[in-house]
Amino acid sequence: MRKRTWIAAAATVSALITISASATATAAEDDAFAQPATAAGAAPQGERDAQRTMSEWSVTHATASASGLIRSAEGKRAIAGELRNAGPGCHSLVIQPMIGVFPGPITKVATSCGSETVPVYREYAGTPLVKICRDSAAPFTDCGPAQQLPAGSNPPPHGYVYEAAWLATQNMSYCKSEGEKGISEGRWTAYVCREEYRGGVDLPLLHQVLYVKK
């Protein structure tokens, strides 16, 4: 009798242990599904930082509209989004730098014709205006209300450092000649010339800017 009681008790304990192990395994599986993604599956830190600093832009004119996000990452700013048109003809999204309190020359970013939707991406510096104008090429005279973008910087190209700047002329020939001269003299191994508005907030002027890789 005592032996049968011990066997029954052992069986009951064994069953409880099995049930407990099964419940623990099920709870572990539920926890695995409930946990957020691990670091390996998460977005890179730089991308998460950029997402936190996004804001919106939006402009319209006639049958066209454009909107998207203002991205900020690694010292750069850019507009990203779409240009849409719901009627005949062509409409263009343009960007226009501010030279002091005066708008500068217009540059086309994208054009949509008919019922076309096109992607938009443009890096910028300063606090330019963005707007939609009728037609696909300059002169853009029929334009909608402009939105002024938040200040953006113009960092050196990756791997390069600022070397010098000169007031811009008709072409980049002087900057390029200085870049080639520096290579021949062994002062740097590569160079990049680009146009930028420099000279302060009140009256920035267009410059040729030399960046070099040493």
User: Helices (DSSP H) in 35-96: which residue ranges?
Assistant: 45-52
pLDDT of the residue at 167: 85
Could you tell me the pLDDT band of residue 76, with boundaries at 50, 70 and 90?
low
pLDDT of the residue at 56: 93
Q: Among 133-147, 166-180, 189-203, which stretch is predicted with the lowest mean pLDDT?
A: 189-203
**pLDDT tens digits, one per residue of 92-117:** 999 998 877 788 899 999 999 999 99
pLDDT of the residue at 73: 59
Q: Among 4-8, 53-57, 129-133, 162-166, which stretch is predicted with the lowest mean pLDDT?
A: 4-8
On average, the pLDDT of the chain sits at: 76
Query: Could you tell me if 96 and 103 are in contact, meaning their C-beta atoms sit under 8 angstroms apart?
Result: yes
The Cα angle at residue 78 between residues 113 and 42, in degrees rounded to 5? 110
The answer for residues whose C-beta is within 8 angstroms of residue 33's C-beta and 6 or more apart is none
Q: Above 70 in pLDDT, residue 185?
A: yes
Query: Element (H or E) spanning 186, and its range?
Result: none
Q: What is the mean pLDDT of residues 34-39?
A: 31
Q: Above 80 in pLDDT, residue 75?
A: no
The candidate with the shortest Cα–Cα distance to 93, out of 107, 80, 104, is 107
pLDDT of the residue at 164: 94
pLDDT of the residue at 156: 83
